[in-house]
Structure 1
Amino acid sequence: MTKAKIAVLPGDGIGVEVTAQSVAVLSHVASKFGHDFSFEEGLIGGIAIDQTGTSLPDETLRLGESSDAILLGAVGGPKWDNPTAAVRPEQGLLAIRKHFGLFANLRPVKAYPALAQYAPLRAELLQGVDMLFVRELTGGIYFGQRQEQGDGESAFDTEYYTVPEVERVSHIAFRAAQGRRKKVASVDKANVLASMRLWRRTVTKVHEDYPDVALEHVLVDSCAMHLLTRPSSFDVLVASNMFGDILSDEASVLAGSLGMLPSASLGSDRIGLYEPVHGSAPDIAGQGKANPTGSILSAAMLLRYSLNLEAEAKAVENAVEAVLADGARTADIAPRGTSFVSTSEFAQAVMAKI
């Protein structure tokens, strides 16, 4: 039996709805497999700003520190959509990642045969697509030295990486590949950028510790093309902060809907932050139209990476695939003019398959 405390941060918009269904699925897993999971909610994002004046209250950090994993919904919405505001919902996300030292973002992308019609590629190109992006999360050009234009005529951002930063995210990628098809594609721009030559040398060195995993180096522009021409050839892709950000968004269309995609942010410790890739979608919030799949699959990743419950994680993932194969569709993946199931009905169908 595994006993675990899970911090639940619903956030804003549909984050509240999809997170509630993920908690229901996790509770069902605990009952089915004989575990003891407890859940405690905290504030983050816009609702936290409204209630406390900050997007990440100290109480939420203390809750996370006392938990085994963090399940998050989504943050933001029109009410707080002012990029010049001193306090913004997305600041809470950046702050919680930094506080817990979460340096690797994992995004699985799987193409389900039942949803092939919603992807922009031919169905035969989608066969066997099941990849995992491992994106470095705390370094690179997003965090390097920068200068705004101000009153001048120039501005700059700096792509900066250290060997330890690349080493630690590489280890996560190679270990993930050992549990999959044992292939890693390292994405860089080593033919142009000095930081990317450091990246390639470091990944190559780390690879020596994983002789059972095949490694290929792929230039980022070639990778962008190959994701559309041979997507099934990829297993695990490891990339810098910016390259991983862009490429994982490109690959997300292969799944048919953003609502299908989960993610995990991991660090050196056991705790991780698990959230769907989609945003808060305020236009459909409270209507029961949100697709909970991304959140439910994020809960499966929580079981795998923070609680080390592989069988339970696979049970959730297999249940989602079975429900889709049976024809259940939320509004975002239902053919135009046809009926669709609600957020809670889809989750109930998943639980029935576990």
Structure 2
Amino acid sequence: MSESFQILVLPGDGIGPEVMAQAVRVLTSIEAVAGMKFNLDYALAGGAAIDAHGTPLLDGTMDRARRSHAVLFGSVGGPKWEGLGFDLRPEIAILRLRKELNLFANLRPATSYKPLIDASTLKPEVIESLDIMIVRECAGGLYFGEPRGIEQLPNGGKRGFNTETYSTEEIERVGRVAFHLARDRRNQVCSVEKANVTESGLVWREVMTALHQREFADVTLRHMYADNCAMQLVRAPKQFDVVVTGNMFGDILSDLASMLTGSLGMLPSATIGTATGERFKPAVYEPIHGSAPDIAGKGIANPMAQILSVAMMLRLSFGMTKEAALVEQACVDALAAGARTPDLGGNHSTAQVGDAVVAQLERLISAPNSIA
């Protein structure tokens, strides 16, 4: 083996372990031919960790994440743990990973695959060849701002409050990620906020404008209010190349964009920080869908998003660009051959879709010159 990579695998809750198993199968297929060694280190996170250890993420697991080249994360949470309070909710696991690993940019691609044109609720001509990258700031904003809390009111009611806050440094670092990505794509960035009604949005727009003029004048930049962006994503989504926005708007808009492609089960994500050379270490890779406890254990969950998260990991953290492209093509070919779970209108099981992707991947790998 010419190189080895340490991967912390956190399968999560609900359908997480089911789809993770298929993603690991894909990693095994790549490992067999690519001259690489993937050392997989499994641990609990989210609700599973709460049940076993009383906390969403053990300190020891956090230490293992720091020592890893990448973290492959499953979905966490579910109704079982909803009454535990904010300090113990399963989602603390991913929030802690992002914060303590200094990961601040969540990359969420929304790609329309030709075999799934009919799976979207939008007209085919609206989404054909769709390719959007949403860059969501994920270490600040409303989800992390202080003060925050719940207080009792004199009249017996309650008041919940959160603070939306962004600094120049926070905006510039995620802005640089977006501009650099755009240079390798169609060279267009749309910065999204609510500068018309919020001070944080106004600062966001001012900082992005100054950064653009100072360092990225070769990239086309436009600004858009978040509500208009939501409308435009449905009306004319192909106008967008790279969209960069804050934590809350990125959360909402990326879920909206996922349905342009036909299913939430198709969208992977990468959460990165500052690159070391041309690689991101550490980084967290996960599907954007939830743990779907209503279908957990039924064997019908769509594993594509988790598998495509592996492709993002290969490309961004390991520099395995060709292998990443093979995984992505294997997913497209499997879909074209009819391998679809019920969310995409098919009747294949999770394992059967995994079988199809692995078979297509092995076919591609066996082709002449398929691996550099």
TM bracket (short chain):
over 0.9
Shift of residue 155 of structure 1? 5.2
Whole-angstrom distance in 2 between the partners of 1:155 and 1:13: 29
Determine whether 1:341 maps to 2:348. yes
What SS does the aligned partner of 2:291 have?
A: coil
The answer as to whether partners of 2:339 and 2:352 remain within 8 angstroms in 1 is no
Asked whether 1:36 is paired with 2:37, we answer yes
Deviations 1:310-347 (A, max 9, x none): 22111111111121122211121125xxxx22212212
Residue identity in the other structure for 1:175:
H
1:289 corresponds to 2:294: no
In structure 1, the gaps of 5 or more residues are none
Number of corresponding residues: 350
Superposed displacement of residue 188, structure 1: 1.7
Alignment correspondent of 1:159: 164
Distance, in Å, in 2 between the alignment partners of 1:173 and 1:349 is 34
Separation of aligned partners in 1, 2:172 and 2:86:
36
- Deviation (angstroms), 1:183: 1.3
**SS across alignment from 1:217:** strand
Q: Report the counterpart of residue 18 of structure 1 in structure 2.
A: 19
2:9–2:41 CA contact under 8 A, matched in 1: yes
- The amino acid that maps onto 2:241 is D
- Per-residue deviation at 1:56? 0.3
Q: Report the alpha carbon displacement of residue 173 of structure 1 after superposing the two structures with TM.
A: 0.8
Whether 1:150 and 2:173 are equivalent positions in the alignment is: no
Q: Distance in 1 between matches of 2:42 and 2:242?
A: 33
Q: Give, in angstroms, the shift of residue 193 of structure 1.
A: 2.3
Structure 2 partner of 1:102: 103
Q: 1:351 aligns with which of 358, 369, 372?
A: 358
Gaps of 5+ in 2: 276-280, 362-372
Separation (CA, whole Å) in 2 of partners of 1:204 and 1:288? 48
Alpha-carbon separation, structure 2, partners of 1:285 and 1:244? 27
CA contact (8 A) 1:7 1:67 kept: yes
Hey, what does 1:190 align to over in structure 2?
A: 195
Hey, what does 1:56 align to over in structure 2? Answer: 57
- Shift of residue 118 of structure 1? 2.6
Contact 1:42 1:59 in 2 (8 A): no
Task: Name the counterpart of 1:324.
Answer: 335
Q: 1:197, CA displacement in angstroms?
A: 2.0
CA distance in 2 between partners of 1:11 and 1:147 (Å): 27
Quote the offset at 1:291 in angstroms.
0.6
Where does 1:43-192 land on structure 2 (aligned, <5 Å)?
43-82=44-83, 84=85, 87-144=88-145, 145-146=147-148, 148-152=150-154, 156-192=161-197
Q: Which residue of 1 aligns with 2:236?
A: 230
Q: How far did residue 126 of structure 1 move?
A: 0.8
Deviates more, 1:222-231 or 1:184-193: 184-193
**Aligned pair 1:221/2:222, yes or no?**
no
The 8 Å contact of residues 149 and 160 in structure 2, kept in 1 or not, is answered as yes
CA contact (8 A) 2:114 2:129 kept: no
Aligned to 2:368: none
Cα distance, 1:77 vs structure 2: 2.4
Contact 1:42–1:63, Cα closer than 8 Å, also in 2: no
Task: Call closer, same or farther: CA 1:117–1:43 in 2, change over 3 Å.
Answer: same
Query: For the residues of structure 1 that align with 2:184 and 2:33, how far apart are their CA atoms?
Result: 25
Cα displacement string for residues 107-147 of structure 1 (whole angstroms, at most 9, x for unaligned residues): 11112232233322111111121111101111112222235
1:179: how far off? 2.0
Residue aligned with 1:81, SS: helix
- CA–CA distance in structure 1, aligned partners of residues 301 and 149 of structure 2: 40
Structure 1 residue 100: Cα displacement: 0.8
326-335 vs 47-56, which deviates more? 326-335
Residue 73 of structure 1 deviates from its aligned partner by 0.9
1:210-261, Cα deviation, whole Å (9 max, x unpaired): 3442211112122111101110111110001111111112111111111111
Q: Deviations over 1:169-193 (max 9, x none)?
A: 0111111122222211111222332
So what's the TM-score if we normalise by structure 1? 0.93
